[in-house]
Chains A and B, each alone.
Chain A
Amino acid sequence: MFRFKINNNNKIHSGSLMYYRDENSFDFIPSNNTDIFLLVGYLHIGIDSETMTAQQVWGLQPYECWIKKTLDVPNFILGELMVEGDIVPGMTYRIEGCENWTTEFDSETGWVCIGESKKIINDLFIKFADDTIAVINNGKLKALWLKPIIK
């Protein structure tokens, strides 16, 4: 349904990725305007329809279900995460295949991995916003790596 592409141009969105324990939610400050939302569970990947680029992630992600694990943080490139597909601005869609994704948390480093934390040879790691990395494999989202400021 959707395909993700990477634009390796060193552009990333500046800001702070927050995690609010009292709301069990991630949010990105300051928030950029987005008008397409792709859901991973309850987590929104906000897309700007003019550029079709991901701006930030936000939404419910209860820490009660995080699994403590030592995570090997991936090397990444900086750039834009782009999406293409049959998408109407002003709508929300669910990314298929992520219904049973687990969330792992490394309390030593503060990194949270939503999805598959094991790397394979064709994985592409793109940092598209501060403290926000997407893992793309063959056009599909495989995981999100997030390092929030936890409040």
Chain B
Amino acid sequence: MSKTVQNHINDIVKKGPYKGELARPYIDSNGTTLLIDEIMQAGTPVKDTVLKNGLRWDVQGTFRGSTGTWELVVDTSTNTIVHFNFVAK
């Protein structure tokens, strides 16, 4: 993953039902590789609209009880994940 993504791995939820948990635990956990594999298997990537060598996966899913979209963008020129997020509806 890019250094920028990694810089925000340790953010903690400070309030509400997920207080004390990592804000985005899917970025760096035992299940991260499996989750990324599942996202890649579940959908066909499209060429990213803003990143020249980017491939983007959008896969419907759930996280913390919310439905939404797993968004994954890989820079194929560096083989690096440059965007990875679950975006709630």
Nearest CB in chain A: distance from B85 CB, A: 5
Q: Please tell me which one of the listed residues A46, A48, A49, A61 contacts residue B16 in the complex, with CB atoms under 8 A apart.
A: A49
Which chain B residues (35-89) contact chain A, with CB distance < 8 Å? 50-52, 54, 63-64, 66, 73, 75, 80, 82-83, 85-88
Number of interface residues of B (CB under 8 A): 33
Number of interface residues of A (CB under 8 A): 34
Which chain A residues (15-39) contact chain B, with CB distance < 8 Å? 20, 23-27, 31, 33-37, 39
Interface presence of A41 (CB below 8 A):
yes
Contact assessment for A62 and B15 in the assembled complex, using a CB-CB cutoff below 8 Å: no
B residues with CB within 8 A of A: 2-4, 7-8, 11-19, 21, 23-24, 50-52, 54, 63-64, 66, 73, 75, 80, 82-83, 85-88
5 A-B residue contacts at CB 8 Å?
A: A23-B4, A44-B8, A48-B14, A60-B51, A91-B86
